[in-house]
């Protein structure tokens, strides 16, 4: 793991030298570091190398980037799968859940941040840790304080909810009590997380109590909730946090920092690409229109026409390649790039591949390019392009993820 760390720290130096916004902070096309360049490391001041707070900010950027890649991957999958297939409707549902979940988490984070937190309190978001045996677990929010750790599991499920025991599940019901949907019990999920975190802390040599809370971000009506279940609504979040930090201190303030640092150091960005949601052959891989998904016809290098919308796209290269890496494979051969973009030479393929932070493998005609997903998630060029596309995509679809111009799917409410 030495190499990604070097890259991460290097990016952070760019961030210190140029105090620009986080989204634009790292891996700009001209500033991309030469991978495997060890000399960068030795030039860094000692305080930069040792500061975990800086690592935390870098990790936050990568985590945000990873979330954007994930949303883009699902969004592209929907556009690139054939209509009226189960793979496509499942993917549409996953995209809706992803968007709703992210919005819910954001609301909870804002509520937590709005509390005046005492000194020696650390808020850690979306950290993924691993246990012995390769088990990984991801935590939405962990509030570290002298009174211990408060784990918050965010949920975004609206309507009328019932907690059911034996089997432990959460049921969404209508006014007459008829079951509309069934979900895994979030309280059971939370207690798994607590157990995992306790185990991780023990292995890392820390002793601190771990409390937990499930917070519903959209204030649903909750019927039948078991005695003492740690379930809260968004509007109760601030009190929940205040009560936690006011508990009797049991952890030394230095220990709070050490635990936060260890969590950040050990966190693995969640980048499970390529997504395995359908057979690669099911996806349209060619450049597609960002408005109507029609396959674009190449008129010239910088002129790709959508016959349906009668419009021209100038640079479909970057998004098309990204969709490939996120949905098909982590490598692409030079010949495949030539085929995707109707190119005649390997040189032309190389000039397109070199626009992304990819690793070149093989040589000459058998050359190929390999994606480094962490570098993609930290590239401002990639994230800017994705955000532009996502903005359009979110605007084109209603809250149920269905295109506004042909609402066929039944609404999930």
> Is the separation of the CB atoms in 251 and 146 below 8 Å?
yes
The residue number whose beta carbon is nearest to Zn ion equals 289
Q: Which of 168, 291, 385, 390 binds Zn ion (CB under 5 A)?
A: 291
Residues 146-165 within binding reach of Zn ion (CB under 5 A): none
The Cα 375–Cα 325 span in angstroms is: 13
CB of 290: closest distance to Zn ion in angstroms?
Answer: 8
Give whichever of 81 and 296 is closer to Zn ion, judged by the CB atom: 296
Nearest to 370 by CA among 341, 316, 328: 328
Which are the contacts of 351, defined by CB distance < 8 A and separation ≥ 6? none
Q: Which of 308, 314, 360, 391 binds Zn ion (CB under 5 A)?
A: 308
CB of 275: closest distance to Zn ion in angstroms?
Answer: 24
The Cα 97–Cα 362 span in angstroms is: 40
CB of 308: closest distance to Zn ion in angstroms?
Answer: 5
Asked if 376 touches Zn ion (CB under 5 A), the answer is no
Asked if 296 touches Zn ion (CB under 5 A), the answer is no
Asked if 319 touches Zn ion (CB under 5 A), the answer is no
**DSSP code string of 45-67:** -HHHHH-HHHHHHHHHHHHHHHH
Site string for Zn ion, 8-47 (x = CB under 5 A): ----------------------------------------
How many residues at the interface with Zn ion, by CB under 5 A?
A: 7
Q: Which of 40, 168, 210, 292 binds Zn ion (CB under 5 A)?
A: 292
Q: Which of 7, 149, 289, 328 binds Zn ion (CB under 5 A)?
A: 289
- The total of other beta-carbon atoms located within 10 Å of residue 29's CB is 13
Asked if 392 touches Zn ion (CB under 5 A), the answer is no
Asked if 322 touches Zn ion (CB under 5 A), the answer is no
> Is the separation of the CB atoms in 14 and 58 below 8 Å?
no
Asked if 309 touches Zn ion (CB under 5 A), the answer is yes
R_g over Cα of the chain: 23
- The total of other beta-carbon atoms located within 10 Å of residue 210's CB is 17
> Is the separation of the CB atoms in 46 and 108 below 8 Å?
no
Nearest to 4 by CA among 372, 355, 384: 372
> Is the separation of the CB atoms in 193 and 126 below 8 Å?
no
CB of 15: closest distance to Zn ion in angstroms?
Answer: 38
Site string for Zn ion, 236-275 (x = CB under 5 A): ----------------------------------------
Which are the contacts of 242, defined by CB distance < 8 A and separation ≥ 6? 115
Asked if 294 touches Zn ion (CB under 5 A), the answer is yes
CB of 44: closest distance to Zn ion in angstroms?
Answer: 48
Give whichever of 278 and 289 is closer to Zn ion, judged by the CB atom: 289
Residues that bind Zn ion (CB under 5 A): 289, 291-292, 294, 306, 308-309
């Amino acid at each position: 793991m030495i190499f990604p760390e070097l890259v991460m720290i290097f990016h952070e130096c760019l961030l210190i030298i140029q105090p620009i916004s986080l989204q634009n902070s790292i891996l700009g096309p001209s500033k991309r570091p030469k991978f495997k360049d060890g000399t960068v490391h030795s030039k860094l001041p000692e305080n930069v190398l040792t500061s975990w707070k800086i690592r935390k900010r870098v990790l936050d950027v990568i985590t945000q980037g990873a979330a954007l890649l994930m949303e883009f991957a699902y969004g592209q999958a929907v556009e690139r799968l054939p209509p009226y297939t189960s793979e496509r409707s499942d993917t549409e549902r996953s995209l809706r859940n992803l968007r709703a979940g992210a919005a819910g988490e954001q609301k909870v984070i804002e509520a937590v941040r709005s509390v005046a937190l005492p000194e020696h309190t650390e808020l850690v978001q979306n950290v993924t840790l691993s246990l012995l045996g390769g088990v990984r677990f991801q935590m939405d929010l962990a509030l570290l304080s002298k009174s211990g750790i408060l784990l918050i599991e965010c949920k975004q499920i609206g309507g009328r909810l019932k907690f059911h025991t034996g089997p432990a599940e959460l049921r969404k019901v209508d006014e007459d009590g008829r079951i509309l949907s069934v979900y895994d019990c979030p309280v059971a999920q939370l207690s798994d997380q607590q157990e995992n975190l306790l185990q991780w802390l023990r292995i890392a040599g820390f002793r601190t109590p771990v409390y937990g809370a499930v917070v519903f971000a959209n204030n649903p009506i909750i019927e039948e909730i078991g005695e003492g279940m740690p379930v809260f609504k968004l509007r109760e979040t601030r009190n929940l946090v205040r009560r936690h930090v006011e508990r009797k201190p049991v952890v030394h303030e230095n220990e709070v920092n050490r635990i936060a640092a260890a969590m950040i150091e050990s966190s693995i960005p969640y980048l499970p690409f390529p997504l395995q949601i359908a057979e690669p052959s099911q996806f349209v891989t060619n450049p597609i229109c960002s408005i109507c998904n029609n396959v674009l016809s190449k008129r010239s290098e910088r002129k790709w026409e959508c016959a349906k919308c009668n419009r021209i796209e100038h640079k479909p290269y970057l998004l098309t390649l990204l969709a490939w890496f996120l949905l098909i494979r982590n490598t692409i051969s030079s010949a495949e790039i030539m085929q995707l973009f109707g190119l005649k030479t390997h040189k032309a393929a190389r000039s397109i591949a070199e626009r992304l932070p990819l690793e070149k493998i093989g040589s000459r005609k058998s050359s190929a390019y390999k994606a480094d997903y962490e570098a993609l998630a930290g590239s401002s060029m990639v994230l800017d392009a994705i955000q532009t596309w996502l903005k359009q995509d979110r605007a084109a679809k209603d809250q149920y993820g269905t295109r506004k111009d042909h609402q066929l799917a039944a609404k999930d409410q």
